[in-house]
Amino acid sequence: MENRKLDEKKINIILGCLLLTFLASLPLFTDFLLCGADLQYQLLRIEALKDGLREAGLTLWAKPNWVEPKGFSFAFFYGDTFLYIPALFRLAGADVQMSYRMFLVLINGATAFGSFAAFRKIFRDDYTGLLGSALYTMSVYRVFLLYAEAEVGEVLALVFLPFVLAGVCVIFGREGGEQKYGWLWLSLGLSGMLRSHILSFVIGILLLAVLTAVYASSLKKAEVWKQIGMGSAAFLLLNIGYVYAMVQYVRTGGFVVNPVSGVPIQDKGVQIVQLFMAFYQAGGNREFGAQGVGDAAPVGLGLVFLAAVMVFCYFVFVYGDFFEKEEKKRGYAALGTGLAACFMSCVCFPWDSVLKWSGLTSSLVSMIQAPWHFLQAALLVFTMLGCITYRMAGKKYGKVSGRIYGIVLAGLGCFSSSYLVANLLFYYDFVRIRMGEEIWVPIAEEGEEAVLPVLASGLQIFPADGIWYGLTAVSVLTLAGCFVYMLRNKCWSRGKE
């Protein structure tokens, strides 16, 4: 009888994650694509990989005929590891629009199931993991990136960001044998982010540094350093072929890089009011500081996370002694990190002043492009805060009341993002790409600046050598070993962790 209940519970969790995947993918069940800011670029990347697989196999790193035609090295600056999936769809006969659509459905599914596994690992509870998956997968910010911006690289990075948090919580927040799988979560999370979006990877490293500082007292333990060492070694092995290709490409290819120093970004930050709104509408303006929120891009976190912040503050200030010290510490860390990330994403953060400090800060700030990228860190930690308040509500008012609160919280998050999706479908620009139609390739006209900021200098195909093939095999075998290790030991389970 007990096994039957467990099976029913697993089925319910799977159905819940599939429902989240369906809800997040609703805009894809059309005969058109929402015309996100980077949609054309993402489709071109898929086409480039498809052509590259035909022309040069897996060795293509720069797309020929892009810009003058020197070739744009998207594989170097925007990891294309996961874009091989839609490229293979193209080779199988699907048109570019259908390939892109199927790929986004897979991304939504990976986000729903992956974030469930990560938050379940953190809290050791199925329903808390499902709540975390709902808040994270159906967040306004992720929907904004997926459809309004077509930021495929950053959305892919968001699939792996919860793994980093799970690794930190296991390594620093557990004792003894319970820490032994932390290195695996951490290395897989950082590797996935590196191969998806470089800026997101840097933000993930910054978040990792902040959380390490919060748990600095745990650095005295030998087991923690063992996990950090194993995670670093696994990360290197998982990406050694990728890193070697980067080094070789720099050594043999060279680059023409347009200057990105001294570009102000503060006006591209969001207004505070945009962070926690209930209703987000389609828009495209990013100069929020200059033009307010009229016709602004629908970027923010949503009212659900403001509710989570308020509930947490209520519990700790009114019933503080009722809850465990470690639970409150975790909540304070999530609250502080989330508010700091929100502040860095806003127009009120003095990015333009930081930009003027030195040549180094000028380049670093300019490369951020838009401060709202820091909202991905806020999204992660505020999702964790929502899970914490769910567990606090259950402890204080009973399991039934806690679950009602969790359902309300998840429903509020789904409502905000669904409202945004409906608004985008009705009022946003769209595009239809028929089979056989060519996609425009950016080519700089004579005497004009190139459309893309970073270009490969004349090298069109990366000349892979025997070492590259060998190191790539090491990366693939390491990844396979990690999955076998996970399956054999069930490191996501609640029992023997």
Average pLDDT per block of 10 residues along the chain, 497 residues long:
66 92 92 84 81 64 57 69 90 88 95 94 91 95 92 93 92 74 90 90 92 84 87 92 77 58 79 88 70 78 93 89 84 93 91 84 82 93 95 90 92 92 87 63 43 39 68 87 76 51
State how far the alpha carbon of 294 is from the alpha carbons of 10, 274, 456, in Å.
45, 11, 38
Q: Are 103 and 85 in contact (CB under 8 A)?
A: yes
Q: In this structure, are strands 255-257 and 454-456 parallel, antiparallel, or unpaired?
A: antiparallel
Which residues, at least 6 apart from 297, have a Cβ–Cβ distance to it below 8 Å?
A: 144, 148, 149, 283, 284, 285, 286
Q: How is residue 345 written in tokens?
A: 């994403």
- List, as one string, the DSSP characters of 201-237: HHHHHHHHHHHHHHTGGGGGSHHHHHHHHHHHHHHHH
Which residues, at least 6 apart from 332, have a Cβ–Cβ distance to it below 8 Å?
A: 316
Q: Are 60 and 75 in contact (CB under 8 A)?
A: yes
Distance, in Å, from the CA atom of 459 to the CA atom of 92, rounded to the nearest integer, reads 28
Radius of gyration of the chain (CA): 23
Look at the chain and count its residues: 497
Backbone angles phi, psi at 93, to 5 degrees: 115, -10
The pLDDT value recorded for residue 328 is: 87
Distance, in Å, from the CA atom of 45 to the CA atom of 26, rounded to the nearest integer, reads 24
Q: Are 167 and 482 in contact (CB under 8 A)?
A: no
The pLDDT value recorded for residue 450 is: 39
- Alpha-helical regions (H) of 253-324: 272-275, 288-291, 303-318
What is the C-alpha end-to-end distance of the chain, expressed in Å? 25
The pLDDT value recorded for residue 89 is: 92
Which residues, at least 6 apart from 61, have a Cβ–Cβ distance to it below 8 Å?
A: 73, 75, 76, 245, 249, 456, 461, 462
User: Which DSSP letter does residue 439 get?
Assistant: P
The pLDDT value recorded for residue 433 is: 76
Q: Are 287 and 269 in contact (CB under 8 A)?
A: no
Residue 390 identity (one-letter amino acid): Y
Report which of 168, 177, 248 is spatially closest to residue 204, judged by C-alpha positions. 168
pTM of structure: 0.89
CA 210 to chain centre: 18
Residue identified by tokens 């595009």 is 431
Distance, in Å, from the CA atom of 327 to the CA atom of 357, rounded to the nearest integer, reads 39
Q: Are 38 and 78 in contact (CB under 8 A)?
A: no
Strands (E), 126-260: 255-257
Q: How is residue 237 written in tokens?
A: 């092995």
Q: How is residue 254 written in tokens?
A: 């060279």
Q: How is residue 8 written in tokens?
A: 């029913």
Q: Are 167 and 178 in contact (CB under 8 A)?
A: no
3-state secondary structure of 412: helix
- List, as one string, the DSSP characters of 65-105: TSTTTT-B-HHHHS--TTTHHHHHHHHTT--HHHHHHHHHH
- List, as one string, the DSSP characters of 334-370: HHHHHHHHHHHHBTTS-HHHHHTS-HHHHHHHHHH--
CB atoms within 10 A of CB 167: 28
State how far the alpha carbon of 418 is from the alpha carbons of 74, 270, 427, in Å.
32, 21, 14
Distance, in Å, from the CA atom of 304 to the CA atom of 415, rounded to the nearest integer, reads 9
CB atoms within 10 A of CB 437: 10
